[in-house]
A and B are shown apart, each in its own frame.
Chain A
Amino acid sequence: MGKVLMKGNEAIGEAAIKAGCLNYFAYPITPQSEVAEYLSRRLPEVDGVFLQGESEVAVSYMVFGAAACGERVFTTSSSPGISLMSEAISYIAGAECPAVFVNIMRGGPGLGGILPSQADYLQATKGIGHGDFRLLVMAPASVQEAVEMVMMAFPLAEKYRNPVMILGDGLIGQMMEPVEFPDRLQSEPINKDDWATNGMAMRKSEQRNLVKSLFLDPEQLNAHNLVLKAKYERMAREEVKYDSYNTAVNYKALVVSYGTMSRVCRTAIDDLKADGFEVGMIRPQIVFPFPESAVYDAASKKSCKIVICIEMSMGQMVEDVERSVKGIRPVRWYGKCGGEVPTPEEVMDAIKACEE
């Protein structure tokens, strides 16, 4: 299959099928409803499961049920819908089941707006539900990258038996771009026998499996929490992913930005370069675990005087950047919200203002 022109939301749906995920539960919400519309046509063609549930709450528990059988399953939503799914995401993480959630972010809080935003960064990376757990969070900056990340998300969810989130802003969902679908990613077969509630007849032993998140004994719950913690620490060792831009030169400022915002920053960096002002950029592709060392190393470059966090939120990533920079450089923020996407000129002005 060569390059095709596709809308982000539709490409995300197709990528899941290409990744071998034929189970999708849906609830409409702008700006991601095209995923559901696309898959309602497409999944029956491949003998897959498409079901529109009665609410995001119900849909997220349908995902839990399917995930507990060890079947590849995913859902997509947007900010207010993801809040409703956060209960189930906590149960799924607690019960250690693999599942993929896509959040095509819109502005908030509350109903907010329907235009692109990065306002759910803290929710996705710090605490999406109650209890002590984390998601692996991938943040695509193009439709092509969204496709690749969706295809990587399923094996990663299975590797860690943990929910994985694709954190895309509304532009990623709504924009049309040329995409090429990679071959299905090879993933290690998951051993469902040990844990999945898919019927005892499916396994060789007489073992019956339980999928649960209840541990009434405090010692057992503490032990369970330690198992989860070890999992997130392993993610931090093995799954850090970022992209560097214009970092080979002696840049005076370092930008940290992700998703659609990072593409605007690239243009601004190119334009500043033409003016003789060098700016480097670190773009986290996975935002949890955060590329702390990469940001620190890039900030420590002798020529670098300042680090600027640029995002379509009121500075939700700043804490991660500050934490990574460890005080060796001042950290500033620039951003806009509510569906306003900063222009390259505005970003250039912001970078210049910070530098002065």
Chain B
Amino acid sequence: MGKTFQKPISLAEQDTHYCPGCTHGVIHRLVAEVIDELDVRSRTVGIAPVGCAVLAYNYFTFDFLEAAHGRAPAVATGIKRVRPDLIVFTYQGDGDLASIGMAEIIHAANRGEKFTTIFVNNAVYGMTGGQMAPTTMPNQRTTTSPLGRNVEEVGMPIKVAELLSSFETPGYISRQAVLRPKYIVKAKKAIKKAFEYQMQNRCFSFVELVSNCPTNWGLTPVESIKWAEETLLPYYKLGEFKNPDDVEEG
């Protein structure tokens, strides 16, 4: 009987730099499993963001490029346009993608660039020490909103998956979570679908993953899962928002 569970080839032997209880490791693994299953490791290029995942390239065993804050979709566009045969994905957090990189993601999605974005939303800037993000929840305390996010001053959190779904250009847009196994199973399916659409050269594909940040939320890992389920999931609704088949059938 062969092995039924093992480390994906796309995942490197590497001690983690992520905090205890952080779900980046889970997401890295899901991406690596999908790349193995689709057998595209030798033609995959990943693009790391600025933020906690700036060192993402240490955990994968294929080509990787590290972009500047928010610019990963522009870099991915450059790669994919000159080498359409490559499988290209960006891995970005919510500070990187939804704040400083908003222009780049919106235009890449609207052009229908044929790459995949894995968007990790944990409602806070992680690497820089827990500052408020565009995705921070109302009244959520961060190091730059010590009294809680005041929506009168800074508006409501941005729902990126819904925003990108509003374009007329065909795309694959899904929001999943990685908070418990039941979510993780669905998240993997969405990630695989996203890469498959890219391989078919169909459309831009985007998977937002509701994640956690025990360290900057000031919670234990277990408490952080409970908080995310109670606070984030009612606002950031899970599901598939857009599919290229929608347009073609309709």
Which residues of A lie under 8 Å from residue B76 when comparing CB positions? 65
- A58 on the B face (CB < 8 A): yes
Q: Which residues in window 78-100 of B have CB below 8 A to A?
A: 78-83, 85-86
Residue contact A197 to B65, C-beta cutoff 8 Å: yes
CA distance in complex: A311, B20 (Å): 60
Give the shortest distance, in Å, between A69 (CB) and chain B (any CB).
5
With A69-B82, A212-B57, A213-B66: A61-B41 Cβ-Cβ less than 8 Å: no
Asked whether A65 and B77 contact (CB < 8 A) given A58-B104, A199-B44, A201-B42, the answer is yes
A26 vs B238: C-alpha distance when bound (angstroms): 37
Which of B43, B44, B45 neighbours the largest number of chain A CB atoms within 10 Å of its CB? B45
Contact between chains at B82 and A211 (CB < 8 Å): no
Within 8 A of A (CB), among B110-142: none
The answer to whether A200 and B43 touch (CB under 8 A), given A58-B74, A69-B82, is yes
| B59-84 near A? 1/0 per residue, CB < 8 Å | 00111111110010011111111110
B163 within 8 A of A: no
Asked whether any CB of chain B lies closer than 8 Å to the CB of A54, the reply is yes
Q: Is the CB of B79 within 8 A of A68?
A: yes
CA A104 – CA B103 in complex, angstroms? 26
Contact B81 A62 (CB under 8 A): yes
What residues of A have a CB within 8 angstroms of the CB of B78 in the complex? 25, 61-68, 73
| B191 interfacial by beta-carbon distance below 8 Å | no
Residues 190-233 (chain A) with a chain B CB within 8 angstroms? 197-201, 208-214
Main secondary structure of the interface of B (DSSP, over half): helix
Rounded to whole angstroms, the CA-CA distance of A87 and B82 in the bound complex is 22
In the complex, what residue of chain B is closest to A90 when comparing beta carbons? B68
Across the interface, B75 reaches (CB within 8 A) one of A55, A61, A73, A210, namely A61
| A65→B103 contact, CB < 8 A | no
Asked if B107 and A53 make an inter-chain contact with CB atoms under 8 angstroms apart, the answer reads yes
Q: Are B61 and A208 in contact (CB-based, < 8 A)?
A: yes
Complex Cα spacing A283 to B68, Å: 37
Counting CB contacts under 8 A, is A351 at the interface? no
- Are A65 and B65 in contact, CB atoms less than 8 angstroms apart? yes
Contacting residue for B74 out of A62, A67, A198, A213, CB 8 A: A62
Question: By the criterion CB–CB under 8 Å, are A57 and B65 in contact?
Answer: no
- When distances are taken between beta carbons in the complex, the residues of chain A under 8 Å from B104 are 54, 57-58, 61
Which chain B residues lie closer than 8 Å to A71 at the CB level?
82-83
Check: B213 CB closer than 8 A to any chain A CB: no
The answer, yes or no, to whether B194 is at the interface (CB within 8 Å) is no
Asked whether A210 and B57 contact (CB < 8 A) given A61-B78, A199-B83, A200-B41, the answer is yes
Residue of A nearest to B44 (CB): A199
- Residues of B contacting A91 in the complex (Cβ-Cβ under 8 angstroms): 67-68
Is A328 in the interface zone, CB < 8 Å from B?
no
Do A210 and B64 touch across chains, with their CB atoms under 8 A apart? yes
Q: Which of A49, A57, A213 contacts B81 (CB 8 A)?
A: A49
From the candidates A55, A199, A214, name the one contacting B45 in the complex (CB within 8 A).
A199
| Contact A199 B63, beta carbon cutoff 8 Å | yes
B54 within 8 A of A: yes
How does the 8 Å CB contact mask read for A21-54 relative to B, with 1 for contact and 0 for none? 0010100000000000000000000000101011
- Known contacts: A62-B75, A68-B65, A208-B62. The answer to whether A197 contacts B81 by CB under 8 A is no
Known: A58-B103, A58-B107, A61-B74. A23 touches B82 (CB 8 A): yes
| A200 near B62: Cβ-Cβ < 8 Å | yes
How many whole Å from B33's CB to the nearest CB in chain A?
A: 18
B63 and A210 contact, CB distance less than 8 A? yes
Closest chain-A Cβ to B204's Cβ sits at a distance in Å of 14
Q: Could you mark each residue 256-282 of chain A with 1 if its beta carbon is under 8 Å from any beta carbon of chain B, else 0?
A: 000000000000000000000000000
A198 touches B77 (CB 8 A): no
Task: Return the 10 tightest CB-CB contacts between A and B, nearest first.
Answer: A65-B78, A61-B74, A62-B78, A212-B66, A201-B42, A54-B107, A65-B75, A197-B63, A65-B79, A58-B74
**Besides the contacts A53-B77, A61-B78, A210-B65, what 10 more A-B pairs have beta carbons closer than 8 Å?**
A58-B104, A61-B67, A65-B74, A68-B75, A69-B79, A73-B82, A88-B68, A199-B45, A208-B63, A214-B55
Q: What are 11 sample pairs from A and B whose C-beta atoms fall under 8 A apart?
A: A51-B77, A54-B103, A64-B67, A64-B71, A65-B74, A73-B82, A91-B68, A198-B86, A199-B42, A199-B63, A200-B43
A→B interface (CB under 8 Å): 23, 25, 49, 51, 53-55, 57-69, 71, 73, 87-88, 91, 95, 197-201, 208-214
